[in-house]
Amino acid sequence: MLPRARQASIALTLLVGVIIPFSALTEYDGIHLGKGLLKEVTQAPCVRLFSSQGTVGCRTRSREGATAPLYYLSGFGEDDQHEYMNLEEGVAVVMPASMLNSTVLEFLKAQSPARTRGVIVLEESKDMAADFERDSVSPDVSTPQGDGTPSAAFTVGPDHAWNPRGSGLLNQKHDFPVVLASVDGDSTGVGAAQVKAWAQHNGGLRRAGPLPRYKAKFDFYFGPDSPSTRAESDLTSADCLSWRDVAGNPAPQCLPIGGQSVWGTFGGRTGLQTKPSVLLTTAMDGLSFFHERTPAANEAVASILTLLAATSALKNASRAGALDLDAAPYNLAVAFFQADEWGFAGSRRFARDISPGGVDCPATVPDNSSRDGSGACVGSDGVYPSMAFKDLAEKGFVHVLAVDQVGVLGTGGQAGSLPLTALYDKTPPTAVLDAIDRAAASMAPSQAVMVTSLDGSGALPPSPFTSFARGTPALSGAILTGYGETFIDPRYHSHEDTAAVLDPTALSSVAALVARAFWKLAAGPGEGAASAAELEAIGVEPAFVSDLLDCLTRDWDCPAMKAFRDSEISNLKDYLQMSYLYTPPVPRPPTYYAGVLAPYQGLPLVQHLDKSSHAEGVDTGIYAAWPAGQVFPVGAHDKAYVVPKPLEAFLRAWLGHTLGQGGEDAPVACQGPSDCSDLTCDAGLSTRECVLDACVCRTAAFYHTALDPGLAPLPEPGLFAVSDPAAPNWAEPNWEDIGLAVFPDAGSRMEATALGVGVGVAALSVVGALVLQRSLIKHHYFD
Amino acid sequence: MAAAGLMWGAGLIVFSPISCVFILVVTRRPELVIIAISGAFAYLVALLLSSALWAMFGPVKQTAAIMVVLGVLCQVVMRAVLYRLYHRTEILIKSANHPVLHMPLNDITSSLAAGTGYGLMHAVMIFGSVLASGNSDPGVLFAPSCTRTPLVVVLALLALAFTMMDLSFMALTFLYLRRRKCFRMGVIFLMHSAASGLTILNDVENGCTMSLPLVYVVMVATVLVTFREWRQLNEDT
């Protein structure tokens, strides 16, 4: 090595050694070292979703995401459109939520990808009063789960336009990301106001516009355009679920939308086994263009609350001696179906499973290993931790009363009365309508309700009743709704379907009506069944409704819900003999989007322990199903279980506590399940649980898997196969990091100028240094 | 990474002059490399002294002008200390009267080397963290002192001016102290204070429109003074 080079290398090494520490201080926002200039935006995205027919939703087409300067679109007049079309570069459009409609998005889509790189919708104030004069903001199609959707074949009357003002955005594919910037920022990101300020600062993105220019970076990659085998086709859920890696191993890139439906019975398993049932039901999930922002106040919360309040009212009346539930000819059953917005996944699977031969169950986990004593099943349809639904199947349903959108009521009622509609299809369900009329007649003047019967004439609005009606057209049933021939809520399936539209007092009245009608149905036909005194004894406490409404709409971590959820998980950990168990996080704010079905997120599993290795505590396998035609090798210590999602856990625990043996009926104090061994349960092998410090027999409330019957779990947890390609089979893609961030940028002109000046200075420096060197040599300064 | 062109451009503005001098002049002799490293260390010590004064004198912290003067004073003192160390080394080597080992250095090349090291470290301190942050952050920082120009460019231009002045100040220090014209160190003090004091204008919104041009005026004046003084020396000898 030449001496000079050695010297230079030593010097440069020392220099680098000084500079490297500065590289560790890699972020600087002008105030703090360690904080960068990339500012996350608190937002809820529109995500890509797959069905059997293709793709809907929003995404960035490149793995690297999309980066573009913010452009504020304040209006949609001709001048605004003209100015937009004259933009010379791609932009991230920032617009108020009031402009989110199909017209604007179609215009922006037509300018994509040349101009439209992404859309940021600025959320407006959450507290908006119900306003029927307002233009519809419903993003769903005019025929929800009907024509033009993958669920059309599973709907009664798919061509009926229940949602005539729907824009159809939910059913469209957008090749650019669309996100809803939250009104309020939080510790992790900035809110809509800041994003708007940045966009307005950018102005019209003129050449000599102000600096810095704020740019948005969207990271919403959800997979390629099409599968490798069909370059011209859209990606479907079947493609995504059957994805394989380069080595040919299964590597699914999505998970099915689903979870656990929850159902309960007033008479316990004994009631199910001895007499037919009447079913009170609703869907427990909702839908929105921005899935993480699905408040579903009218769509789901109102119905859930109505059923819970009705259940509580009936149980209270029973405890008070006003009702004799055991003497009623029919058993009362309540059901909340999950993922029903996605091809009626929950109710369709339930209806299929309770039908003869509905479930492939070649092997059962022993009764004493199942939590409710009903046994558990492991087969090609998956793992069923509870077989209690078979009890229901034996005697079946006689009547079904479904509840839908009873939070927003019309103005068509008589003065002072709440208007409701009982919708049925063709043949009037006499018993159901009579029960509703008797219930309405028993209401006090201050809670007057007017119910109008309406024949759907071959059409039924989307609800769980649809799944039962399709399977048994002669089934007696109706849907109690707040609307008539068409939906009246302009916020149907919108992120604006918030709690502000709900009136606790009105909901109390509706819940009381439902409870009384339900009792009348269970009490049987005839004037003598369900006397006026009995009906009037069934009342709903307004405080119960208002307290629970606050929990369900604002914070699922409120004490009322958290206590039930904690009990549920505690009992599960005790059953599995685990000190730690992963549970899905509680979403904030609450969202009624069903989410995916995955291990430890609603997917039932069986923990298979080989007896010989049990002493060492070694699991020999955890399975989600077993191949058809083969018998699962049941072990004496096997445990079938499911880790529910937060809302599911609350509902099952609440129903179990309210309806189960023990609980409030005969409280036996406890701190854990081990304190409940003395509690006698009718179903002797039932697990005893400790819920809200009281022992309960696990005989009254159950989970049931909500997974599209067109899909089946495979033995390896997380893998699914398509058993019916024609079914909707909705799935959500997997992703690692998605999000939106904004950062200040200098613009290309400044960049070019800086680089040009730098190169010029470098050139001059070389020349200058050479001149200096030669001058020094010439004057013998290096001799 | 922030706009690559911006980062590269700013980096070239700051480091290309001083790096060219280092590579084409300083590395011709290993002794000059050692002196350059010593110069860098001298700047760090000057910075440490300034920091200690800032920490000690509470009320003074609030007055930028006073801190500027104190900081410049520390740097002037450290340059003088560096020359002293160089001179003592020179005396030691000459007194050894070794038949082979001799002092191949002279004030011009030595002061250039010391100034290069001093200026390089000065540039790293002004500019290093901002440049490093740009490597991991796509955002470009703008400051109220210069709302239409990225901070990285503003600092690059500022660092370029000060590195050129560092070369000149070190050359003048060697010249004046060799000739025992200590009182002329006041000239260095005044020019350096003027340049540093002008940066206080950056406290004003868009103050860079005034401070940067004026700093470059001072820089040009400094370089011209340096050339004039060294030419005077050559004529005298």
Give A39-70 as a 3 state SS string.
EEECEEECCCEEECCEEEEECECCCCCEEEEE
3-state secondary structure of A598: strand
CB A373 within 8 A of CB A367: yes
pTM of the model: 0.86
In the prediction, which pLDDT does A129 show? 46
Q: Provide mean pLDDT across the span B111-129.
A: 90
Radius of gyration of chain B (CA): 19
Classify strands A254-256 and A418-424 as parallel, antiparallel or unpaired: unpaired
pLDDT class of A596 with cuts at 50, 70, 90:
very high
Out of A13-22, B188-197, B210-219, least confident range: A13-22
Whole-number Å distance between alpha carbons of A638 and A615: 13
Q: Pick from B22, B109, B133: which is nearest to A28 by CB?
A: B133
- One domain, residues A86 and A220: yes
- Report the 10 Å Cβ neighbour count for A654: 26
Residue B66 has pLDDT above 50, yes or no: yes
Q: Pick from B16, B36, B140: which is nearest to A762 by CB?
A: B16
Q: Provide mean pLDDT across the span A704-723.
A: 96
Q: Using the beta-carbon criterion (under 8 Å), do A744 and B139 form an inter-chain contact?
A: yes
- One domain, residues A717 and A754: no
A607 domain-assigned: no
Report the number of distinct structural domains present in chain A.
3
Q: Which residues on B lie below 8 Å from A7 (Cβ)?
A: 27, 30, 33
Whole-number Å distance between alpha carbons of A631 and A608: 13
Chain A nearest-CA distance from B167, in A, is: 13
- One domain, residues A168 and A270: no
pLDDT in tens, B8-28: 999 999 999 999 999 999 998
Q: Provide mean pLDDT across the span A349-375.
A: 80
Chain A nearest-CA distance from B150, in A, is: 7
In the prediction, which pLDDT does A369 show? 64
Whole-number Å distance between alpha carbons of A319 and A543: 19
- One domain, residues A376 and A509: yes
Name the residue type at position A228: S
Q: Provide mean pLDDT across the span B227-233.
A: 85
**A388-391: Cβ within 8 A, 24+ apart:** A388/A269, A388/A272, A388/A702, A389/A263, A389/A350, A389/A353, A389/A354, A389/A702, A389/A704, A390/A354, A391/A269, A391/A272, A391/A273
Tell me which of A35 and A404 has the higher pLDDT: A404
A641 strand-pairing partners = A605
Whole-number Å distance between alpha carbons of A495 and B182: 77
Out of A17-26, A255-264, A656-665, least confident range: A17-26
Q: Which residues on A lie below 8 Å from B39 (Cβ)?
A: none
- One domain, residues A700 and A752: no
B237 touches A at CB < 8 Å: no
Whole-number Å distance between alpha carbons of A199 and A180: 15
Chain A nearest-CA distance from B185, in A, is: 25
- One domain, residues A313 and A325: yes
A163 domain-assigned: yes
Residue A613 has pLDDT above 50, yes or no: no
Going along A583-726, which residue ranges are E strands? 598-599, 602-603, 605-608, 621-623, 639-641, 688-691, 694-697, 701-706, 711-713, 720-722
**Residue A736, Cβ density class (10 Å: 0-12 exposed, 13-18 middle, ≥19 buried):** exposed
Residue A127 has pLDDT above 60, yes or no: no
A405 domain-assigned: yes
- One domain, residues A504 and A439: yes
Q: Which residues on A lie below 8 Å from B132 (Cβ)?
A: 22-23, 25-26
- Report the 3 state secondary structure along A459-511: CCCCCHHHHHHHHCCCCEEEEEECCCCCCCCCCCCCCCCCHHHCCHHHHHHHH
CB B110 within 8 A of CB B86: yes
In the prediction, which pLDDT does B96 show? 78
In the prediction, which pLDDT does B2 show? 63
Distance (Å) of CA A146 to CA A151, A368, B29: 6, 44, 85
Q: Using the beta-carbon criterion (under 8 Å), do B148 and A211 form an inter-chain contact?
A: yes
B143: nearest CA partner in chain A: A30
Residue B103 has pLDDT above 70, yes or no: no
Work out the mean pLDDT of chain A and round it to a whole number. Answer: 88
Whole-number Å distance between alpha carbons of B103 and B89: 9
Residue A1 has pLDDT above 90, yes or no: no
B57 touches A at CB < 8 Å: no
Whole-number Å distance between alpha carbons of A374 and A372: 5
Tell me which of B214 and A747 has the higher pLDDT: B214
pLDDT class of A24 with cuts at 50, 70, 90:
very low
Q: Using the beta-carbon criterion (under 8 Å), do B17 and A27 form an inter-chain contact?
A: no
Residue A745 has pLDDT above 50, yes or no: yes
Report the number of distinct structural domains present in chain B.
1
Burial call B84-105: b when 16+ CB within 10 Å, e when fewer = eebeebeeebeeeeeeeeeeeb
State whether the Cα torsion B220-B223-B227-B228 is positive or negative.
positive
Q: Using the beta-carbon criterion (under 8 Å), do A761 and B12 form an inter-chain contact?
A: yes
Residue A634 has pLDDT above 60, yes or no: yes
Q: What is the DSSP letter of A234?
A: P
Q: Which of residues 98-157 of B touch A (CB under 8 A)?
A: 104, 106, 108-109, 120-121, 124, 128-130, 132-133, 135-143, 147-151, 153, 156
Q: Using the beta-carbon criterion (under 8 Å), do B132 and A26 form an inter-chain contact?
A: yes
Out of A62-76, A698-712, B222-236, least confident range: B222-236
**Residue A394, Cβ density class (10 Å: 0-12 exposed, 13-18 middle, ≥19 buried):** exposed
ipTM value for the complex = 0.91
In the prediction, which pLDDT does B112 show? 93
pLDDT class of B60 with cuts at 50, 70, 90:
low
A14 domain-assigned: no
pLDDT in tens, A748-780: 888 899 999 999 999 999 999 999 999 988 888
A691 domain-assigned: no
Q: Using the beta-carbon criterion (under 8 Å), do B5 and A782 form an inter-chain contact?
A: no
Residue A431 is encoded by which pair of tokens? 């018993």
Residue B175 is encoded by which pair of tokens? 């010249």
A775 domain-assigned: yes
Whole-number Å distance between alpha carbons of B118 and B101: 27
- One domain, residues A179 and A269: no
- One domain, residues A654 and A775: no
- One domain, residues A294 and A430: yes
Q: Which residues on A lie below 8 Å from B23 (Cβ)?
A: 8, 769
Out of A12-16, A489-493, A597-601, least confident range: A12-16
Angle (nearest 5°) at CA A388 between A347 and A432 = 50
pLDDT in tens, A133-185: 456 689 999 999 999 999 999 999 999 999 999 999 999 999 999 999 998 88
Segments forming the whole domain that contains residue B179? 2-236
Q: Using the beta-carbon criterion (under 8 Å), do A11 and B151 form an inter-chain contact?
A: no
Residues near A167 by Cβ (< 8 Å), separated by ≥ 6?
A: A101, A102, A136, A138, A139, A140
Please provide residue A744's backbone torsions phi and psi, each rounded to the nearest 5 degrees.
-80, 145
Whole-number Å distance between alpha carbons of A137 and A165: 8
Segments forming the whole domain that contains residue A766? 748-782
Residue A40 is encoded by which pair of tokens? 């996350």
Element (H, E) at A87: none
Percent of chain A with pLDDT over 90: 61
Q: Provide mean pLDDT across the span A571-576.
A: 91
Going along A517-615, which residue ranges are E strands? 598-599, 602-603, 605-608
In the prediction, which pLDDT does A590 show? 95
Q: Using the beta-carbon criterion (under 8 Å), do B140 and A746 form an inter-chain contact?
A: yes
- One domain, residues A378 and A444: yes
Burial call A752-777: b when 16+ CB within 10 Å, e when fewer = ebbbebbeebbeebbebbeeebeebe
pLDDT class of A612 with cuts at 50, 70, 90:
low
In the prediction, which pLDDT does A616 show? 47
Chain B nearest-CA distance from A23, in A, is: 5
In the prediction, which pLDDT does A736 show? 79
Whole-number Å distance between alpha carbons of A295 and A317: 32
Chain B nearest-CA distance from A190, in A, is: 16
Chain A nearest-CA distance from B18, in A, is: 8
Q: Pick from A67, A212, A764: which is nearest to B140 by CB?
A: A212
pLDDT in tens, A496-540: 999 988 999 999 999 999 999 999 999 988 877 888 899 999 999
Residue A278 has pLDDT above 90, yes or no: yes
Q: What is the DSSP letter of A244?
A: B
Q: Which residues on B lie below 8 Å from A9 (Cβ)?
A: none
Q: Shortest CA distance to A504 belongs to which of A458, A464, A553?
A: A553
pLDDT in tens, A209-263: 677 889 999 999 998 888 777 777 789 999 999 999 999 999 999 999 999 999 9
pLDDT in tens, A419-437: 999 999 888 999 999 999 9
- One domain, residues A302 and A233: no
Angle (nearest 5°) at CA A32 between A30 and A36 = 75
Please provide residue A18's backbone torsions phi and psi, each rounded to the nearest 5 degrees.
-85, -35
